[in-house]
């Protein structure tokens, strides 16, 4: 045993919906990144801080990697790879179902190709093992390991925590010796205003269908600390079309009211204080062509 501390970055990369954000939240032990059943939930790298023994692992949750079409998609995928390039360890998270005949593995194959080009040695984490047959899993593991891009293979369930402790051990040991990068009690390094906007975006994604969640963005416009400990938050939901605005408002304003209630409840838990949340919806047809909105969340507009 040594008293020396370790600290560094571990990037979690993978196809959309592989479970990256769920895993990061599980490793950190609190919710730092939003999760939905839909693809392309995470839009920019979110850093969560895990303390494990004498190691501090800054987990970089990245947007899912897929073949991008729109400007926002390109920026998301670029930021995911940047997160991986600068990291001390890279975890490729794979939805096991994609390799056991219950899904499409082409996105994973594209990622493996890129890892090969980078000469990377990633940790393979086969996720969602609670959903697949062990027998099929062994063949999948072999096929993946034979690609030669992995140093280690783990089978996990980010949802129920199976195998997550082993992954934490492995990452902690991989970190270089050095002082902690963040205060030990800090779970995330994204600003409160951005966390608040993300939680509202999660509730919108969960409630809305088809393309609407992909064509909106949420901004926290005002954050007011009150003397009694409560916080008043004003947020603007920018949508692409008038029709989307009408759907988000809902009949008699019921939909936005429900979304606001769900978001406020969770924000009160996250921040540990009463929250007063005020949501408005605005049609900003070209928000996806707005350079400032990209840089505000650390994405490259010209990706
Ligand atoms: N059964 C099961 N479901 C899981 C597991 N991990 C994640 N999920 C579910 O998979 C879905 C996607 O999870 P996310 O954590 O948002 O996935 P992601 O990789 O961050 O997705 P993007 O941000 O869109 O790239 C959610 O419905 C999760 O509850 C797991 O180990 N088992
Ligand atoms: Mg995510």
Q: What is the pLDDT of residues 66-105, one digit of tens each?
A: 999 999 999 999 999 998 988 999 999 999 999 999 999 9
Do 123 and 252 sit in the same domain of this protein? no
| The total number of structural domains that make up the chain | 2
**Is residue 201 in a domain?**
yes
- Ligand 1 atom 16 nearest Cα: 35
Distance CA 250, CA 51 (A): 43
Cα 124 to middle of ligand 1, angstroms: 16
- Residue-level pLDDT at 47: 95
Tell me the residues surrounding ligand 2 (ion) with CB < 5 Å.
Answer: 20-21, 41-42
- In the structure, what pLDDT confidence band is assigned to residue 190 with cuts at 50, 70 and 90? confident
Statement to judge: residues 198 and 170 lie in one domain: no
The answer to whether position 301 is within a domain reads no
How many Å lie between the centroid of ligand 1 and the Cα of residue 19?
3
Cβ–ligand 1 contact at 45 (below 6 Å)? no
- At residue 2, the pLDDT reads 58
Which of the listed residues 127, 145, 174 is the one where a domain comes to its end? 174
Give pLDDT tens digits for 41-64.
999 999 999 999 999 999 999 999
Choosing from 174, 206, 233, the residue where a domain stops is 174
Q: Is residue 1 part of a domain?
A: no
67 located within any domain: yes
Q: Say if residues 299 and 43 touch (Cβ distance below 8 Å).
A: yes
Q: What's the pLDDT score for residue 159? A: 98
Q: Are residues 56 and 87 in the same domain?
A: yes
List the residue whose alpha carbon is closest to atom 27 of ligand 1: 37
- On the question of pLDDT at 1 being above 60, the answer is no
C-alpha atoms less than 13 angstroms from C-alpha of 167 in its C-beta half-sphere: 31
Q: Which of 174, 209, 227 lies at the terminal end of a domain, its last residue? A: 174
Same domain, yes or no: 22 and 151: yes
**pLDDT class of 296 with cuts at 50, 70, 90:** confident
Residues 25 and 125 in one domain: yes
* Ligand with the closest atom to the CA of 38: 1
């Amino acid at each position: 045993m040594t008293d020396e501390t370790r600290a560094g970055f571990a990037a979690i990369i993978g196809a959309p919906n592989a479970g990256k954000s769920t895993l990061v939240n599980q490793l950190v032990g609190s919710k730092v990144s939003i999760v939905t059943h839909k693809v392309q939930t995470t839009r920019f790298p979110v850093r969560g801080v895990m303390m494990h023994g004498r190691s501090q692992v800054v987990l970089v949750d990245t947007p899912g990697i897929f073949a991008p079409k729109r400007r926002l998609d390109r920026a998301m995928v670029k930021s995911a790879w940047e997160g991986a390039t600068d990291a001390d360890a890279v975890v490729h998270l794979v939805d096991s179902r994609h390799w056991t005949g219950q899904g499409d593995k082409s996105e994973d194959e594209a990622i493996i190709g890129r890892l090969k080009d980078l000469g990377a040695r990633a940790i393979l984490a086969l996720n969602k093992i609670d959903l697949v047959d062990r027998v099929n899993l062994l063949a999948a593991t072999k096929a993946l390991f034979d690609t030669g891009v992995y140093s280690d293979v783990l089978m996990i369930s980010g949802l129920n925590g199976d195998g997550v402790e082993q992954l934490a051990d492995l990452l902690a040991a991989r970190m270089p010796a050095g002082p902690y990068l963040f205060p030990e009690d800090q779970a995330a390094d994204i600003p409160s205003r951005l966390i608040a906007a993300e939680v509202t975006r999660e509730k919108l994604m969960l409630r809305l269908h088809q393309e609407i969640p992909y064509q909106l963005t949420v901004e926290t416009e005002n954050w007011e600390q009150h003397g009694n400990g409560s916080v008043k938050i004003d947020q603007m939901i920018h949508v692409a079309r008038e029709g989307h605005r009408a759907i988000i408002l809902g009949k008699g304003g019921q939909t936005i009211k429900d979304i606001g209630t769900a978001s406020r409840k969770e924000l009160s838990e996250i921040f540990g204080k009463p929250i007063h949340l005020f949501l408005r919806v605005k049609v900003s047809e070209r928000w996806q062509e707005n350079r400032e909105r990209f840089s505000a969340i650390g994405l490259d507009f010209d990706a």
